[in-house]
Amino acid sequence: MFNRRRSLIYLGLFAGPALAVFLLFAVAPLVGTLGLGFFSGATGQDRFVGLENFINILTGPVDGPRFWNALLNNVEFFAIHLVVELPIGLGLAALLSSGVLRRSTGVYRTLIFIPTTLSVVIVAFIWRMIINPLWGLVDFPLLADTHTALPTIALMSVWQYVGIPMIFLYTALIAVPEEVVEAARLDGANGWRVFWQVKFPLIAPQFAIIAILTFIATFNGFDIIYTLAGASAGPDYSTDILGTYFYRTFFGSGASLSDPNRGAAVAGLIFLILLIVTALYFWALQRRTARANRLER
């Protein structure tokens, strides 16, 4: 009994400060923001309106099309990261862990990861200079066309953050037991089959985690769109994602007036989307793990 009480005291001493900071700076602002979405009116004169703000954002004649446009753009933004960033990161990780580069592995790993450490403003400035139609390498205004603006910005983001999946997958690949790889080679498997039939199934959980983290990151995206296209997310809202839509709604920009209550409702919808998708992922992961455990028995 005494040992248990002492353990609880130690747990409170070590975990208490971190828990207090988390509750104060993460949970409390989240709850406050979600609660703000159920009210309407000027500050100090708020009145409870229930789900009215949420309904207007989803179905209103003005807010509805803007929200769904931002959501679809966000899905496209995520899809480009998923089909471009993750395969490139996996390929780079496979190359670096294969031993082909030998002593240069650390150099290439550092060079690939360096863009991740750069400011988004610097990355945006560099790429704006590169694709400038007047003195850059491209003679077409990619950021001024509604069909190419969002894919162009997404590929810039891929270039900056491809080092993150590369590092995660590289560490997973070098942790694969060498005995398993040698056994596959003794059975006559070539390098291609060893990777896809031995190594990749072992790192598939890490790959799935990176995919869900990419989803969360892209649906929280804002900075690179704001830097390159502004709060209006032009041209003609073609680069508008949920982050920039929330910014215009909450803080106001140009012709869009500030409305913290509607902005909080947008933030609540973003949180709900992230919560549902993440919960579905962990539910599927738990089912798969339980099925694998039953097969082992």
Residue 183 lies in a domain: yes
Residue 215 lies in a domain: yes
Please report, rounded to a whole number, the percentage of residues in the chain having pLDDT higher than 70.
Answer: 97
Which region among 7-21, 80-94, 110-124, 153-167 has the lowest average model confidence (pLDDT)?
A: 7-21
Residue 181 burial (CB count, 10 A): 17
Q: Note the pLDDT tens digit of each residue in 248-294.
A: 999 988 777 888 999 999 999 999 999 999 999 989 888 887 787 77
Residue 125 lies in a domain: yes
Residue 159 lies in a domain: yes
Quote the number of domains for the chain.
Answer: 1
Residue 171 lies in a domain: yes
Parent domain of 159: 67-258
Please report, rounded to a whole number, the percentage of residues in the chain having pLDDT higher than 90.
Answer: 64
CA 173 to chain centre: 22
Residue 3 lies in a domain: no
> What CATH number did the domain enclosing 186 receive?
1.10.3720.10
Residue 49 lies in a domain: no
Query: Could you tell me where the DSSP H helices lie in the chain?
Result: 2-22, 28-36, 52-59, 63-80, 86-97, 105-117, 120-130, 149-161, 163-174, 178-186, 191-194, 200-219, 223-229, 242-251, 260-296
Q: What is the mean pLDDT of residues 86-97?
A: 94
Q: What is the pLDDT of residue 53?
A: 93
Whole-number Å distance between alpha carbons of 228 and 153: 8
Q: Which string of DSSP letters, residue by residue, matches 120-157?
A: HHHHHHHHHHHT-TTTSS-SS-GGGSTTTHHHHHHHHH
Residue 291 lies in a domain: no
Residue listed under structure tokens 């309904």: 55
Which region among 30-44, 173-187, 227-241 has the lowest average model confidence (pLDDT)?
A: 30-44
pLDDT band for position 42 (cuts 50, 70, 90) = low
